[in-house]
Structure 1
């Protein structure tokens, strides 16, 4: 028997297909093709599973996977904000909250509440789960830019100081991954792919 919940869930599943059309500034590894938000979220989910052992604190891997899969769904309505954008700040906005309520609101009430709560937890970045999720979110584009001779750093004249300031949040979830990331940032400077 088909339930009202099923109809709502299928409507949500159809709606989030739009995430595949949201283009990010970063490009795929060693590629000229821009990544879309769905690819980004999938990659973060895989990174979470693979790199969980490097979290400084115990984490609920399934919850972190949910976080990274959910975190950018609001961009269906709000669009992607480039992390180094000098005009629009890359922080939680009223626009994103409105988007979260609309899109997650397609789901049955209990699921909608859970997804909004998970999204808000990621945005606040205060829990150990959120800190690790945010580490993954900052780490993936760093790896991409390093593989693409500076990628968006070179394309948009982003300086070492700006990159370092944004990426040091990785340390909040994993000192080991931050050490790796910091070395990669410094290597990018040495290779001339990031201006100091």
Structure 2
């Protein structure tokens, strides 16, 4: 049992590195860029508040666990900007996921790795919901910080809507509301339309 405690605490200390992974978006009202640990925390809380509105019934613990795990691979791979052509890097991220989950006791590590893969494949109701929530937060942040990352990276309103339409699979009404906000706020902020 003691070796399990050692493995679990080693995993948690390894995750400290996620706090150094800088994203391309600034927290609302701050001049610095957010880190991936902050992102994971915030989307987990958003998911908890939105689970009652999910398109399909989902297991809350499974969703939250997926969201807390989904970006740990960035410790090894770094954050990839959502609008870059090479955003999806499953093979390298899987290597990172295997390395990180192998620190844990075997059965727990396998469970976490399976949940990470399930999130990436986005086929279960929980993974579909979690993927949608993962896309909502950066949109909300941009809507409340002058569209900072969209303007800095010359992202169009059309690109924002196309990249984030997966939110509709989690909750169509939420996506309708968010996409309307994008059209109004982004246009006002000077984000180009196409």
Where does structure 2 lack aligned partners over 5 or more consecutive residues? none
Out of 117, 123, 126, the position equivalent to 1:126 is 123
**Cα distance, 1:31 vs structure 2:** 2.5
Q: Does 1:164 align with 2:161?
A: yes
The Cα offsets for residues 18-46 of structure 1, whole Å up to 9 and x where unpaired, read as 11110100110133221101000000110
Change in CA separation of 1:184 and 1:108 when aligned onto 2, cut-off 3 Å: same
TM-score by length of 2: 0.96
Runs of 4+ deviating beyond 6 Å: none
Could you tell me how far apart the structure 2 residues matched to 1:31 and 1:177 are?
Answer: 26
User: Which of the two has greater strand per residue?
Assistant: 1
Residues in 2 aligned to 1:190 and 1:103: alpha-carbon distance in whole angstroms = 42
What aligned pairs does 1:85-96 form with structure 2 within 5 A after superposition? 85-86=84-85, 89-96=86-93
Coordinate RMSD, CA, aligned: 1.1
Alignment partner of 1:144 is 2:134:
no
Between stretches 184-193 and 18-27, larger displacement belongs to 184-193
Q: Which runs of 5+ in 1 are unaligned?
A: none
**Correspondence for 2:152:** 155
Output the CA distance in 2 between the equivalents of 1:90 and 1:121.
18
Distance across 1 between alignment mates of 2:110 and 2:52: 29
Decide whether the 8 Å contact of 2:23 with 2:33 is kept in 1.
Answer: yes
Measure, in 1, the Cα distance between the counterparts of 2:58 and 2:190: 34
Counterparts of 1:47 and 1:143, CA distance in 2: 11
Q: CA deviation at 1:179?
A: 1.2
1:134-183 alpha-carbon deviations (Å, 9 max, x no partner): 11110000011111111110001001121111010100111121012111
Does the alignment pair 1:186 with 2:183?
Answer: yes
Query: 1:27 — aligned with what?
Result: 26
Aligned length: 193
Q: Distance in 2 between matches of 1:26 and 1:126?
A: 28
Match of 2:108 in 1: 111
Q: Is the 8 A contact 2:143 2:186 kept in 1?
A: no
- Of 157, 174, 179, 2:171 maps to 174
